[in-house]
Structure 1
Amino acid sequence: MEKETFNERVFKLKKHGTDTKTEIMAGITTFMTMSYILAVNPSILGDAGMDSGAVFTATILASIVAMLMMAFYANMPFALSAGMGLNAFFTYTVVMQMGKPWQFALTAVFIEGLIFILLSFTGFREALFNSIPINLKKAVSVGIGLFIALIGLLNAGIVGLGEVSLSLNTLASKEGFVFFLSLVIMVVMTARGVKGALLWGMLISTIISLFLGVSHLPDGNAIVSAPPSISPIAFKLDFSNVFSLEMFSVLFAFLFVDIFDTIGTLTGVATKANMLDENGNLPDGSKALLSDAIGTTFGALLGTSTITTFVESSAGVAEGGRTGLTTLTTAICFAIAAFFFPLFSIIPSQATSAALVVVGLFMLTTVAEIDFSDITEAFPAFMTILMMPITYSIAEGISFGMISYAGIKLLTGKGKEVSPLVYILALVFLARYLLPLFS
């Protein structure tokens, strides 16, 4: 009788119609497609005043913990890391727009993770997701896409916030050249089906930027080094304003976006992997949700924004990944990458900004799935999408979308189409705008 291998015993490879080689290659492919986050997340949270090197290490550690959970507990091929959109909300809305310290934002992320751990055991997370109108779910993704793309253009100096105008000086500069070169490389490589197109785009444009003097090699020209310490940002939570209305608003926005982002991603990737049952549900989906909840909680303690399932996991699934061995492989790649911070640190902001624009494009594609034939559905979705980049806030876009959806449905005699939970949320958001008028 053939002796059962460790991989077969733990990950049930034969049951899932796969083998070790396929799973490892799938995991490496997933890493290549999502590794841009190791350059982008430190850049975004760095804008919030956090130490970029520490964020780099914290992102890797939190991602590894979440992926180990996904690999050994859920046995699913879904990789996790700091979610795009959620990190932008962390920096550009909570810290820069609301004027809150990054410690306040980290506390909100920590509480969000604890809530999600509890909800993962009750099934409420799925119930909450099901109560929100499908068009608003899709509109949130589209709005975040536009918001992220705007951030990319702003960070690259291509447009100016407030004046909404092109910066001709930047367009004609070396920095502008690096940005557009990065953009072209990423789009062309994506079109040609190159794995890790965003990472390759950043690396190639970084090499060119070194010759142009836009970026510079680190001291000693070291490429490999020990991971930066997380001490500047680890365990810096601030509970002094935990019961404030602002904390509730921020916390709800994190919860709202993370719920849709994670469950939507799990559904999409699981569909591609033929992992859904006859009812369209993901067996043991609660295990996957618990994995990202634990990653988020642990990540907040270490000093990074919300950890969530990455849609780039679909790249690994397309390569044949079907079990947790794929995710374990991706986690190992993250661990190796921890020693290459000098390489990631020299990537110019123009290259990471181009990656934001391309990620924004990927998120924008959901707009084709929104029903615009019914104005009571179309207008709230439109307001959600429009208000995120205009107000420079994901939370405001969600607020306007929820309020307009509940209000229009009620005033047009379609109030029964709205769940009670949506009405409650709409009233909470409305009170947020009206209460200051009476204070």
Structure 2
Amino acid sequence: MSNGSVNEGFLEKTFRLRENKTDVKTEVLAGITTFMTMAYILSVNPLILGDAGMDKGGVFTATALSAVIGTLIMALYANYPFALAPGMGLNAFFAYSVVIVMGHSWQFALTAVFLEGIVFIVLSLFGVREAIFNAIPMNLKKAVSVGIGLFIACIGLSNVGIIQQGEGVILSLGNLGERPALLAIIGLIIMGVLLAKKVKGALLIGIIVTTLIGIPMGVTEPITKIVQLPPSLKPVAFQFVWSEIFTKDMFVVLFTFLFVDVFDTIGTLVGVSSKAKMLDKDGKLPKVKQALFADAVGTVAGACLGTSTVTTYVESASGVAEGGRTGLTSFTTACLFALALIFSPIFIAVPGAATAPALILVGLFMMSPIKEIDLDDFTEAIPAFLTIIMMPLAYSIAEGIVFGMVSYVVLKLLTGKWKDISIVMFILSILFVVKFFI
């Protein structure tokens, strides 16, 4: 038997490709695409946490390794095509709120992240996060997918300046003559043509071609060296402080980390799995406990290594859009994060203008569940609409879910449809309302 046959047999047994109606080529391409759309975290996370006083080199290594650990657990334990890495938003809260505004040390913030991960492991083992996932009604699950699509598109458009914060308005059109915006538009056209012609790997091909076009435009940074040994973890790893773990400030910081991460992760899993048609007839994700466990362990490992909260990445939708359906997709992504430790100059050279068009088009792909939302029953339609619209406007998956769930409970109660409300939904909505006023 050839090595190729043995390898394919191993991959089939491990990831059950035929059962999920996919193949090795599709999964690998999807994994590469996911990595390309989220590789920016390797350069952005060290910059943000560097503002908190952390060693940027150490944070780079911690970012890559924590992504490898979390994503490998997702691949091999849950067999889902979702990738993990230190989350945007959570790293900003870490650096700018906890350290700079509240005046705590980055070691204090890192300790809060570690404790958050421990709490998440406990919640995952007892099925609490799984119960929250399953409590979200099917219409809201579909709305989360659509809302995440708009949110991703908004990220892509704003990252290259196609849209920007306006003077006297919420958003305005940016300067399309700027080179990053112009390159992103070129990339959008290239990917659009490839998709229209049904070219396999259209998003990945588009990212590569756009990156190359960016060289003469001066957007893609020239690569001066290929291989670079990763910086040491010593300045940031295991830098915990235990003297303040029972203080009020630690409780507030820990609760905020928990709240944002729980609903960002659940929202991402709901939205991407809904788009990939992984939910069963009751709207449940068969291995949601394993998926949530992966991000809990990733957070603990990330804190030990020296980085902020690890979470499931919404950019995983780009891999799903390319056909990724199993853990082989996320396994490929994890391998690329490992390679990035050595070949970081290559991966970091890919400009945001090359990945932005992919994010914008993934926004389109994520819109399809809107056709299945019940828009005739206003107790279903209004919460779904608020979920969709608040994600990009509040720039938060978590806040979109909060608006959707609270409005769902209120409308159902006031119209006599209280039987549609689960106990978990009711309790969560009360907690959300309380959170708004404290």
Give the TM-score category using the shorter length: 0.7 to 0.9
Q: Distance in 1 between matches of 2:192 and 2:219?
A: 22
Deviation at 1:410, TM superposition (A): 1.3
Q: For residues 236 and 353 of structure 1, what CA distance do their matches in structure 2 show?
A: 35
Find the counterpart in structure 1 of residue 261 from structure 2: 254
Match of 1:390 among 390, 393, 413: 393
The CA distance in 1 between the partners of 2:14 and 2:392, in whole Å, is 47
Whole-Å separation in 2 of the counterparts to 1:407 and 1:281: 24
Q: 1:5-404 to 2 correspondence within 5 Å?
A: 13=13, 16=16, 25=25, 27-42=27-42, 45=45, 48-50=48-50, 57-70=61-74, 73=77, 76=79, 78=81, 80-82=83-85, 87-90=87-90, 110-163=114-167, 164=170, 166-167=172-173, 170-218=175-223, 221-230=224-233, 234-235=237-238, 241-244=249-252, 247-262=254-269, 265=272, 271=278, 286-302=289-305, 303-308=307-312, 310-311=316-317, 314=320, 328=331, 331-404=334-407
* Partner amino acid, structure 2, of 1:262: L
How many matched pairs?
A: 414
- Mapped to 2, the partners of 1:429 and 1:280 lie a distance apart of 23
Deviates more, 1:227-236 or 1:362-371: 227-236
Measured at CA, do residues 356 and 181 of structure 1 come closer, stay the same or move farther in structure 2, by a change above 3 Å?
same
Which whole-Å CA distance do the structure 2 matches of 1:400 and 1:156 have between them? 29
- Secondary structure of 2:312's aligned partner: strand
Shift of 1:342: 0.9
Q: Please give the alpha-carbon distance, in whole angstroms, between the structure 1 residues aligned to 2:15 and 2:213.
A: 47
Deviates more, 1:132-141 or 1:306-315: 306-315
1:411 to partner: Cα distance: 1.3
Q: CA deviation at 1:124?
A: 3.2
> Are the equivalent residues in 2 in contact too, given 1:63–1:295 (CA < 8 A)?
yes
In structure 2, what is the Cα distance between the partners aligned to 1:412 and 1:299?
46
- Once residues 17 and 350 of structure 1 are traced to their aligned partners in structure 2, the CA distance between those partners, rounded to angstroms, is 33
Preserved contact between residue 38 and residue 344 of structure 1 (Cα < 8 Å) = no
Q: Give the Å deviation of 1:54.
A: 5.6
CA drift at 1:147: 2.6
Distance 1:411 1:248 in 2: 31
- Deviation, 1:406, is 1.7
Find the counterpart in structure 2 of residue 406 from structure 1.
409
Query: What runs of 5+ residues in structure 2 fail to find an aligned partner?
Result: none
30 and 112 in structure 1: CA distance in 2 versus 1, 3 angstrom threshold: farther
Contact kept? 1:270, 1:282, Cα under 8 Å? no
Quick one: distance in 2 between partners of 1:386 and 1:311? 19
Code of the aligned partner of 2:90: F
Change (3 A) 1:418 1:263: same
What's the CA shift string for 1:18-52, capped at 9, x where partnerless? 69xx9754553332221214433235546745487
Listed as ranges, the gaps of 5+ residues in structure 1 are none
Amino acid at match of 1:159: I
Q: TM-score by structure 2 length?
A: 0.76
3-state DSSP class of the match of 1:339? Answer: coil
Seen in structure 2, the aligned counterparts of structure 1 residues 73 and 348 have a Cα distance that, compared at 3 Å, is closer
- Measured after TM superposition, the shift of residue 102 of structure 1 is 11
Q: How far off is 1:370 after superposition? A: 2.2
Instruction: State whether residues 267 and 401 of structure 2, in contact with CA within 8 Å, keep that contact through their aligned partners in structure 1.
Output: no
Query: Are the counterparts in 1 of residues 201 and 322 from structure 2 also a CA contact under 8 Å?
Result: no
Deviates more, 1:398-407 or 1:183-192: 183-192
* Residues 157 and 360 in structure 2, CA contact (< 8 A), matched pair in contact too: yes
Change (3 A) 1:420 1:316: same
Distance 1:73 1:308, change over 3 A: same
Cα 1:184–1:41, aligned 2, differ >3 Å: closer, same or farther?
farther
CA distance in 1, matches of 2:333, 2:147: 29
Aligned partner of residue 343 in structure 2, secondary structure: helix
How far apart are residue 376 of structure 1 and its match? 0.9
Amino acid at match of 1:149: A
Tell me how large the CA RMSD over aligned residues is.
4.1
Shift, 1:374, TM fit: 0.8
- The whole-number CA distance in structure 2 between the counterparts of 1:145 and 1:176 is 20
Q: Which residue of 2 aligns with 1:416?
A: 419
**Displacement after TM superposition at 1:81 (Å):** 2.5
Deviation digits for residues 371-403 of structure 1 (CA, Å, limit 9, x no counterpart)? 211111111221222223223333433332222
